[in-house]
Chains A and B, each alone.
Chain A
Amino acid sequence: MSMNRRQFLGLSGAAVAAATLAPGLRLIELAQARSPEEATTSLHRWGLLIDSSKCADGCTSCVSACADENGIQSHSRPATDAQWIRKVTLKDKQSGHVQTLPLMCQHCAEPPCVDVCPTGASFKRADGIVLVDKHICIGCRYCMMACPYKARSFIHEVTTGQKAHAPRGKGTVESCTLCVHKVDRGDGSTACADACKKEGHQAILFGDLKDPASEISKRLASQPSTQLRADLKLNTGVRYQGI
Chain B
Amino acid sequence: MAHVQYLKIEGRSIGFLALLALLGALIAAGLGSALYMEHNGHWVTGMNNQVIWGIPHVFAVFLIVAASGALNVASIASVFNRQLYKPLARLSGLLAITLLAGGLAVLVLDLGRPERLIVAMSYYNFKSIFAWNIFLYTGFFAIVAVYLWMMFERRFNDYTKSVGMLAFLWRLTLTTGTGSIFGFLVARDAYDSALYAPMFIIMSFAYGLAIFVLVLFAATRWTGRPLGDVMVARLKNLLGVFVASVLYFVVAYHLTNLYMTGKHDVERFILLDGGVYTRLFWIGQILIGGVIPLVLLYSKLGRSRAMIALAAILVVVGGLAQMYVTIVGGQAFPISLFPGKEIINSSFYDGVVGKYTPSLPELLLGIGGIGLALGMTTFAIKVLPFLPQSLADADVDPHHKAA
B52 touches which of A63, A86, A121, A145 (Cβ 8 Å): A145
With contacts A80-B48, A92-B340, A154-B49 taken as known, whether A118 is within 8 angstroms of B120 at the C-beta atoms is: yes
Contact across chains for A150 and B119 when beta carbons are under 8 A apart: no
CA distance A116 to B124 in the complex (A): 11
Closest residue on chain B to residue A172 by CB atoms: B112
Q: How far is the CB of B357 from chain A (nearest CB, A)?
A: 11
Contact across chains for A79 and B120 when beta carbons are under 8 A apart: no
Closest residue on chain B to residue A82 by CB atoms: B49
Contact across chains for B186 and A112 when beta carbons are under 8 A apart: yes
- Give the chain A neighbours of B336 by CB distance below 8 A: 229
CA distance A7 to B331 in the complex (A): 74
Is there a chain A Cβ closer than 8 Å to B185's Cβ? yes
Interface string of B178-217 (1 = CB under 8 A from A): 0001001111100000000000000000000000000000
- Give the chain A neighbours of B49 by CB distance below 8 A: 79-83, 144, 150, 152-154, 156
Contact across chains for A145 and B134 when beta carbons are under 8 A apart: no
CA distance A120 to B116 in the complex (A): 13
Chain B's interface size range is 35 or more
Closest residue on chain B to residue A157 by CB atoms: B41
- Give the chain A neighbours of B120 by CB distance below 8 A: 118-119, 138, 140
Which residues of B from 285 to 320 have beta carbons under 8 Å from A? none
With contacts A118-B130, A150-B335 taken as known, whether A145 is within 8 angstroms of B341 at the C-beta atoms is: no
With contacts A116-B130, A140-B130 taken as known, whether A154 is within 8 angstroms of B125 at the C-beta atoms is: no
Residue total for A at the interface (Cβ-Cβ under 8 A): 60
Contact across chains for A171 and B38 when beta carbons are under 8 A apart: yes
Is there a chain A Cβ closer than 8 Å to B399's Cβ? no
Which residues of B from 334 to 352 have beta carbons under 8 Å from A? 335-350
Is there a chain A Cβ closer than 8 Å to B1's Cβ? no
Contact across chains for A91 and B341 when beta carbons are under 8 A apart: yes
Q: How far is the CB of A90 from chain B (nearest CB, A)?
A: 4
Is there a chain A Cβ closer than 8 Å to B264's Cβ? no
Contact across chains for A172 and B187 when beta carbons are under 8 A apart: no
B188 touches which of A120, A139, A145, A157 (Cβ 8 Å): A145
CA distance A87 to B335 in the complex (A): 16
A149 touches which of B337, B339, B341, B347 (Cβ 8 Å): B337
Is there a chain B Cβ closer than 8 Å to A185's Cβ? no
Is there a chain B Cβ closer than 8 Å to A164's Cβ? no
Q: How far is the CB of A29 from chain B (nearest CB, A)?
A: 32
Is there a chain B Cβ closer than 8 Å to A115's Cβ? yes
With contacts A139-B113, A154-B112, A229-B337 taken as known, whether A119 is within 8 angstroms of B344 at the C-beta atoms is: no
A contact patch SS: loop
- Give the chain A neighbours of B111 by CB distance below 8 A: 138-140, 171
- Give the chain A neighbours of B116 by CB distance below 8 A: 136-139
Contact across chains for B112 and A117 when beta carbons are under 8 A apart: no
Q: How far is the CB of A120 from chain B (nearest CB, A)?
A: 4
Interface string of B323-338 (1 = CB under 8 A from A): 0000000010001111
CA distance A130 to B230 in the complex (A): 60
Contact across chains for B343 and A86 when beta carbons are under 8 A apart: no
Is there a chain B Cβ closer than 8 Å to A163's Cβ? no
CA distance A83 to B124 in the complex (A): 28
Which residues of B from 119 to 136 have beta carbons under 8 Å from A? 119-120, 123-125, 127-131, 134
Given A86-B348, A141-B53, A150-B50, 16 more A-B residue pairs with CB atoms under 8 Å apart are A103-B337, A115-B127, A116-B128, A116-B130, A119-B131, A136-B116, A137-B112, A138-B116, A141-B52, A146-B186, A150-B348, A155-B112, A170-B41, A171-B111, A228-B337, A232-B187
Cβ-closest 10 pairs across A and B: A139-B112, A171-B112, A118-B130, A157-B41, A89-B345, A79-B48, A156-B43, A148-B187, A120-B125, A119-B123
Contacts from B to A (Cβ < 8 Å) = 38, 40-43, 47-50, 52-53, 111-114, 116-117, 119-120, 123-125, 127-131, 134, 181, 184-188, 331, 335-350, 355
Contacts from A to B (Cβ < 8 Å) = 63, 75, 77-83, 86-94, 98, 100, 103, 112, 114-121, 136-142, 144-150, 152-158, 170-173, 228-229, 231-232, 243
Selected A-B contacts with CB under 8 Å, 16 pairs: A79-B50, A79-B349, A87-B345, A88-B337, A92-B341, A93-B342, A115-B128, A116-B130, A118-B120, A138-B111, A145-B188, A170-B112, A171-B41, A172-B113, A231-B339, A232-B186
